[in-house]
Structure formats: C-alpha cells, structure tokens
Structure 1
Amino acid sequence: MLKLSGKIIRIHAVDVYKDRTLIKVSTKRNLPDVLRRDLAYLVSDHQIPSGFAHYLLTEQHQERIEELPAGSDYSILPNDYSYIGDNDVIRLSADRQSIRVLFRASSQNNSILLTEQCNNYCLMCSQPPKTADDSWLLDEIESLIPLIPKETRELAFTGGEPTTNEERFLKIIRLTKSYLPRTAIHILSNGRSFKDPKFAEKYAAVELSDAMIGIPVYSDDPTLHDYIVQAQGAFDETIQGILNLKRLGQKVEVRVVIHKLSVQRLPELCEFIARNLLFVDQVALMGLEMMGFTRANLEELWIDPIDYKDTLSTSVGILAKYGMNVAVYNHQLCLVNPDIVPYYRKSISDWKNEFAPECQNCKKQRECGGFFASGVKFGYSKQLSPF
C-alpha cells in the first residue's frame, strides 16, 4: 500500500506554499529554463540543475541540501514517498508541513475526489459522507486538470457524490475534455442526479469521447436497495437516472457490491438487470471493501466469499446468458469457482492493493487481484487456498 498523504520532515518555501499549492514533479535535468520555473525537481544521485521552482528530497538524499542552488525552496520527504516520479502532481502546504500526492503518472488507477458530500448514506460506504462545505476541492481540481499529462489513459472522478454541485461538476467535465481529450473517464455516481432529464442532457452535451458512469444497484427490491443506501426513494431515482443516460447514448456501468444483504437476492437482481437494463454497457459484481461504514456495520454486512461462490456463479451465468458484458471485481481467485475466471478482473487500485501472508507462495498471485489493504488488516476469508 502506498502512502498518498501525510506530514513531511521539513519544508522551506515562500508564502505561496503556506496554504495549499499544486506543483508538477520533474526528473528531467535538461528542460528549458522557461519550463523549469513551474516545476518541482526530484533530487536523485545526479547533479542538481538550477532554475526549478521547488526541489524535493527524500530522506536518503537529504544530505544534498547543501548542493541546492542558493535560495532554493525545498521539501524533505519521508522515504514513504520515494515512489514519486516524473509528471506526478502533488499538493504542498508549509503551514501544515504536509504533502498529498494527487496524480501519479505511472499509475492506471488515478481517482480524483470531487466532494465528500452525498445524498446516499450507504451502509458499506468506504468514504463516509460529510456535510461540511468542501468546494475548495473543486477549485483545486480545476487547477489540477491542466497539470495532468495529455497522454494519460484513464482517470476516475469519485466522491461522495460527484454531481452534488451540478454546475461545477459539468464545468470540470468540460475542462477535462479540453485538456485531456484522449483520456478515458470513469465517473462513480449514485445516478440520482441524472433523474433530471435536463441535467442528463447537459452532461451528454459535453460529448466526452470515452466516458462511463458507474452506478450502483443493490437489489431488485426497491425497499432493500433503499435500506442499503439509507435513502428513501433512491431506487426509483437511480433507475430513472440510468434510463435517462442510456436514452442519450451515454455509457453506464451497473455496480453491485456483494455483502450479506445484497447477496440475498443477487440472482434475482441479475435477472432484473438483464430483463430491464439489458442496454447498459457493463455489470460489475464487486467484493466488499473493509473501510468506512463497513467496519461499523460488519456484523450486518460481512459474508465470507467462499459462502456465496455458487451464488456468484449463478448470477454471472444469468447475465452472460443474456449476452451482457460482465466483470467480477475485488475477489480472490481461490475463492471463486472456475467458471468465474473469464469474467475476473484485477481491479483493486495499486496504491491500496495487498496480499495476505497465506498468498506468499501462491502460483497465481500475478493473475489474482489480491485484497484491499483494509481487508488484510481488518479481516478476510479464513478459507484461502493458495494455488
């Protein structure tokens, strides 16, 4: 698991870094001077070039402070951040003596948090909603997007509910299209905002070249879905949102997190999706992340994947029979039946992906998606059977 944020050892910087400042990292020593003055140079074993706006040193290179150009701004980072590389984007704060890694150019798992506010209150939410005004995140994202390399293949927008501030959401989507026209965009939303045809039309009018909205549906029974998301009427609004988006030709992925409540009617849900939402672009059946509200509601939610593996096979089989595009996320290979393998995906973001001690000598570790780091820490199936 990678550490994305925390305290740093020291920061020596001018006033611009006092609150929050975004800066792109460079490891290139021979950049033109006009480009250097907006970048942070990551010090390595090579000769240190002059002219950069900031210099980053990890603990292993901190003795090189004396070699920095006179009067330079610099930060000393714990070795936890030694993974930082060229074209990454970070946030520095002198007041807080802190760093946050916002974008990693070498990763295919970059997610951008638009807000922590949400109109659902899901029992298993890994990012529990907050009510505080966090519109500063949207301001920051508007500064971040122009810094992201144009060759970036994929980018995700998440929350909270990303569409909470509808106009700012649309502005960010338009900005992304302008600066990252070839980047695939994945938006994780509860879909309820798109029940409004006018908002759905505004989103579609942006005409992103490659975008998909991942929307959760947890049961074919509206009452059960609404209970899981802790919002009365959410099922009807979510389904209406999906229908509006597909009417406008937008890509939609239906996402189902599997736990003790949702697995009760998982085959029935898959039959409902196949009969009523056959036109969605993908259905993802997902394992539970042991974070946030999940840990508080563990007794109500946790079920060992080994106990529902046959139900999972039945459910995937229903969707496949109808010719739907199916993916199984966040599971371990030894805990699913062989018929799941064609639909199996290594889906856990690299920065929070780990393996249990039992997996150390498994012959299929490279093919397996492993665990969320929280799963290894707080609990996982005791019936792992390494290959």
Structure 2
Amino acid sequence: MGESMLTLSGKVIQLQTTMPSGRHLWVLSTNPDLPRPLRCSRAFLINSAVIPSGFSHYLAFGSVPVSLPERATCTVLGNEFSYLGENDVISLTSDGRIRSMFRANSPHNSIMLTEQCNNYCLMCSQPPKNVDDRWLLDEAMELVRLIPRHAAKVMCISGGEPTLLGDGFIDLLHLLKSRLPDAALHVLSNGRRFSNVAFSKKYAAVQHPDLMVGIPVYSADPAKHDYVVQAKGAFDETIRGILNLKRLNQRVEIRVVVHKQTCDGLPALAEYIARNLLFVDQVALMGLEMTGFTRANLESLWIDPVEYKDKLSQAVKILQNYGIKVSVYNQPLCLVSPDIEQAYVKSISDWKNEYAQECGPCTRKSECGGFFSSAIQYGYSGSISPFQ
C-alpha cells in the first residue's frame, strides 16, 4: 500500500476541561510573531519551544508543554493530525472531537451543507438522512468568515443536496463571493431544484465570477437515470434545470459516474449530450467510489474498469469530436486506453487517495490518480499493470 489517506476527524488525546462547552472553530497559526491583536481569535499550533502568549487556545502533540502560558487552555493531538498548519481551520468540541474544516495548502477543500437529499442514488457516497441539520449551514457561514481572505483557491459545496436549503444556500454563495474573492466555487447538485426558474434566477443573480455547478446525468434513457438515482421524474427535472441555468449564462458541468448500470450506455449518453446539451461547459466521466451505498449495492454496480474502457474511449471521442471539453476522473492510469490520456485527470482528493501494492514499481505513478482509499480496503481491479 502507498501513502495512506489523511485523518480529517477523530478524538483528541487530551482536552483540558476548562475549555467552554460546545463546538469551537479556530484558525490556526504557527507564527509566534503574529501581532497581538490577531492572537485572541486564533489557536496556536505548537511546533517549537517558543510558545507566545495571548492566543485563544493552544494545540500540541505528545503532551501539554510545561512552558504553556498561564491560564491557557491546550489540546493534545495525535500524530495523525501533524499535517495541520498555518491558516488551517479546525472544529473542536468540548467532548474532545476534532475536525479539519479547511486546509490552506490543499486544493481539495469542501463544505458539506446538508445530509438531506431528494435523490437516493444507488452509489451515493454520502447516504442521505431525513434530519434537521440546519446547523451545518450555520457552521459553514462561520467557517467562511474565518478562512483568511486570500487563503482559499477552490471550494467545493456539497451535500446531500445543497440547493434544498433554498435561500440559505444562496446566502452562502453571496458570503463566499464577498469574503473569499480569490476562490473558485464548484457546487455539486443533482440539478433538480434549478428546474424552478425563480430559484435559478436567484442563483444567477449572485454573479459570482468563478462558479460552476456539477450535475449528474447517468443515461440518455430517462427511466435508467431515474433508476440509478431512485427518484421518478428526476431526469426531466435535471435536464430542465440544466437548460434554465444555461439560459441564464451559468456554467454547468455534467458528471457521469461509470459503473455496471451506466457503462454500456456511455456512447449513447455522449451522443445525447452532444445533440441536446452541446452548450454545457464540460463533461466529467468518473470512476466509482467504494463507499456509502455502493458497498450495499456492490453486485449491481461493480465492474472492472478494463471491461468498459472501450466504451469510455468511445464516449470521450464522441464528445471531443463535437468540441465538448471532457475529463476522465477517478481511474487508475493503467486501466484506461492510451487514446484518452489527453482527457485524463489526476483527480482523487488527497485526503482519500491511496495506491495499491502493485503500483510500487510503476514509473508513471506521479501521473496517476491511484485509488480511493475505500477501493484499497474493499477491493479493486485485478488488472492493475504498472508501467515499467
């Protein structure tokens, strides 16, 4: 096994009981010379013998330092969180749980707005829950206000289905535009809410300079798409949503997760997109993530990528011939045909990316996206063939 995935949440080793109850978000600093007025709103990440006073909280590895400033509170973390650094944002609860909310040095930062969804996709990696989780939006608003203004380059907004939050979702987009002006935004949505023209107009009215919504379309056959997302009428709403967004000059990416239910229809779907949705900004053809509902529906979904690589090549060629930008995500490089390498993207988020033992001697490992960590754990193609 290669490099293991990052630990984004877990229990701390030691938490001082004097910390106020509840959940706290902090921007981290490793700078002992940070101006005093800024220290009270940050947590200091101890990485040397120099421990300045005046910070709101302190984080250490191993044990609480004896030189900790008087009356300071300190949390001791395990080495799995040693990747934390300057301008990162964490959430810390009074019962000793920590979450990495934002990593300044990573291109893979996302905000989950809700676990609710009006689809019930066979391969959903974040199975929906019918719960009142409005607190996630409140936390997202607080997070955006805390992220240093020019630290974020790309932010992904996901769920569940984020558009179910209605005006709350729109308010977050406005806040992101004003507070993080350098950050490109990528919204992951099933697109159905955009079939409402009034909602689409509110979305467009944000006028964010670098915003794209990624919407899945799984088949040219409406019945097949509705089966994959387990929602009758979803195909029609999704397509109407895409049309509404493009009428309003909004950027749209079509996303297709490739598995046993969708792989044979890839060329037909590419033709459908080329003939009916030629104006979309890009298409992403994506490998299956072995988590969430995928594990429960594995028999219906899993197919070795080598078995559909010719269909994948056909779909890519069709889209390229029509001048549509197309990318291939989440596939090991040795399992795709050489003719699509120009569309290949090393895409799996760094916090859930690993390589198999067979990848050790590969000479093109630096170009390859490898695997989702869940695939390493639950099974992957037996056709891995390292480049020599």
Alignment TM-score, normalising by the size of structure 1:
0.98
TM-fit CA distance, 1:142: 0.8
User: In structure 1, what residue type is equivalent to 2:103?
Assistant: R
Q: Conserved in 1, the CA contact under 8 Å of 2:19 and 2:73?
A: no
Structure 1 residue 181 displacement after superposition: 1.6
Partner of 1:146: 145
Q: C-alpha distance in 1, partners of 2:76/2:382?
A: 42
- Asked if 2 retains the 8 angstrom alpha-carbon contact of 1:313 and 1:337, the reply is yes
What aligned pairs does 1:280-359 form with structure 2 within 5 A after superposition? 280-359=280-359
Which whole-Å deviations, capped at 9, do the CAs of 1:221-280 have from their partners, x for residues lacking one?
000000000000000000000000000000000000000001121100000001100000
Count of matched residue positions in the alignment of Structure 1 and Structure 2: 382
Distance 2:373 2:216 in 1: 23
Q: Equivalent residue for 2:67?
A: 67
CA shift digits 1:85-105 (9 cap, x unpaired): 0000000111x2110110000
Distance 1:179 1:76 in 2: 31
Aligned residues with identical type, % of pairs: 58
Shift of 1:355: 0.3
Q: 1:19: how far off? A: 1.3
Distance 2:149 2:141 in 1: 15
Q: Check the 8 A contact 1:182/1:209 in 2, yes or no.
A: no
Equivalent position amino acid for 2:172 in 1? I
Q: 1:31 aligns with which of 24, 30, 34?
A: 34
Counterpart position of 2:128: 129
Q: Distance in 2 between matches of 1:367 and 1:212?
A: 26
* Aligned counterpart, 1:93: 93
Residue in structure 1 matched with residue 14 of structure 2 by the alignment: 10
**SS, match of residue 289 in structure 1:** coil
Residues 146-295 of structure 1 correspond to what in structure 2 (within 5 A)?
146-151=145-150, 152-295=152-295
The answer (yes or no) to whether the contact 1:13–1:74 under 8 Å persists in 2 is no
What is the SS of the residue equivalent to 1:262?
A: coil
Q: Find 1:52's aligned residue among 46, 52, 55.
A: 55
Cα RMSD of the aligned pairs, angstroms, is 0.8
Displaced runs of 4+ in structure 1, greater than 6 A?
Answer: none
Deviation at 1:14, TM superposition (A): 4.0
How far off its partner does 1:15 sit?
A: 5.0
| 8 Å CA contact 1:150, 1:183 repeated in 2 | no
Question: SS where residue 264 of structure 1 aligns?
Answer: coil
Distance 2:313 2:282 in 1: 17
Amino acid of the structure 1 residue aligned with 2:55 = F
* Gap runs ≥5 in structure 1: none
In the other structure, the counterpart of 1:20 is 23
- Describe the superposition over 1:113-163 as per-residue Cα deviations: whole angstroms up to 9, x where unpaired: 000000000000000000111110011111100111222210000000011
Q: Does the aligned pair in 1 maintain the 2:264–2:308 contact within 8 Å? A: no
**3-state secondary structure, aligned to 2:72:** coil
Cα distance, 1:13 vs. partner?
A: 5.2
**How far apart are the structure 2 equivalents of 1:38 and 1:199?**
37
- 1:58 Cα deviation (Å)? 1.5
**Deviation of 1:20 (Å):** 0.7
2:261–2:301 Cα contact (<8 Å) kept: yes
Inter-partner Cα distance in structure 2 for 1:127 and 1:136: 17
Question: 1:163 aligns to what SS in structure 2?
Answer: helix
In the alignment, what sits opposite 2:113?
114
Counterparts of 2:193 and 2:23, CA distance in 1: 31
Distance (Å, rounded) in 2 between the aligned partners of 1:272 and 1:20: 48
CA distance in structure 1 between the aligned counterparts of 2:163 and 2:90, rounded to whole angstroms: 24
- Whole-angstrom CA distance in 1 between matches of 2:35 and 2:88: 19
